[in-house]
């Protein structure tokens, strides 16, 4: 009886984001990898196929099936890989870590109403709300920013927001938490003085069962 030869290659879906997409000139490709494959060997092979990506050095992040990949993680046939710089920026299925039915973690292309986000976690038994309103700043040291463009690998971003919520629950005594992050173009504060919708990029809010425990040191 003849033995079945092992596969010498596997085919995966490869997504590019941010500057990696601009460098390659494509958003998604099917690519063959030598088998057996790990995240480390896949990354090395991708940089060989697309040598222009090598100028990013070690800053490129690799995700496998919507999760950041360790170097020794095994890659299988038809897996989905994503490559993106750390500043580019899961399924809509909620992870097990999103435990509370009142917690929410969302991406939006529209304007963020910070007050409305905060009110979504209001409960009669809570005594305080802690809210973060993030936006683009015009100056970083001596470098001026006119606007930022946020893009997201939506399924993975959803999963990472839920993980942040779970970490906050473990660290602080909070009743509920919600995070909304905007994608698309966001103007800096001075630009916002012109007639235009709010350009908040991130709104995060947490409800404190008492007072002072959700934001120590404030």
pLDDT score at 31:
96
pLDDT digits (tens, 9 = 90+) for 115-153: 888 877 776 666 777 888 887 777 788 888 777 777 888
pLDDT band at 194 (very low <50, low <70, confident <90, very high): very low
CATH number for the segment(s) 9-84: 3.10.20.30
Q: What is the pLDDT of residues 70-120, one digit of tens each?
A: 999 999 999 999 998 765 443 334 444 444 556 888 888 778 888 888 877
pTM to 2 decimal places: 0.51
Distance CA 138, CA 147 (A): 8
What's the token pair of residue 184? 């698309």
Superfamily of domain 104-208 in CATH is Molybdopterin biosynthesis MoaE subunit (3.90.1170.40)
Domain boundaries, given as residue ranges, for the chain? 9-84, 104-208
Cis peptide before 36, with omega less than 30 degrees from 0? Answer: yes
Smallest CA-to-CA distance from 66 within 93, 31, 90 is with 90
* pLDDT at residue 40, rounded to an integer: 95
pLDDT at 10: 96
């Amino acid at each position: 009886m003849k033995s079945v030869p092992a596969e010498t290659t596997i085919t995966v879906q490869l997504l590019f984001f941010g500057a990696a997409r601009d460098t390659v000139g494509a958003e998604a490709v099917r690519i063959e990898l030598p088998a057996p494959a790990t995240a480390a060997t896949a990354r090395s092979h991708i940089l060989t196929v697309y040598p222009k990506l090598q100028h990013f050095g070690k800053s490129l992040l690799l995700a496998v099936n919507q999760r950041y990949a360790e170097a020794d993680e095994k890659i299988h046939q038809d897996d989905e890989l994503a490559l993106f710089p750390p500043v580019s920026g899961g399924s809509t299925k909620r992870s097990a870590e999103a435990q509370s039915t009142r917690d929410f973690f969302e991406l939006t292309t529209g304007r963020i109403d910070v007050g409305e986000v905060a009110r979504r976690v209001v409960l009669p038994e809570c005594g305080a709300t802690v809210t973060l309103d993030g936006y683009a700043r015009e100056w970083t040291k001596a470098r001026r920013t006119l606007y930022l463009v946020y893009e997201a690998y939506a399924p993975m971003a959803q999963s990472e927001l839920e993980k942040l919520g779970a970490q906050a629950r473990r660290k602080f005594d909070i009743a509920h938490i919600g995070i909304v992050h905007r994608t698309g173009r966001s103007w800096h504060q001075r630009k916002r003085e012109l007639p235009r919708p709010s350009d908040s990029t991130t709104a995060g809010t947490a409800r404190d069962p008492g007072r002072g425990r959700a934001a120590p040191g404030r």
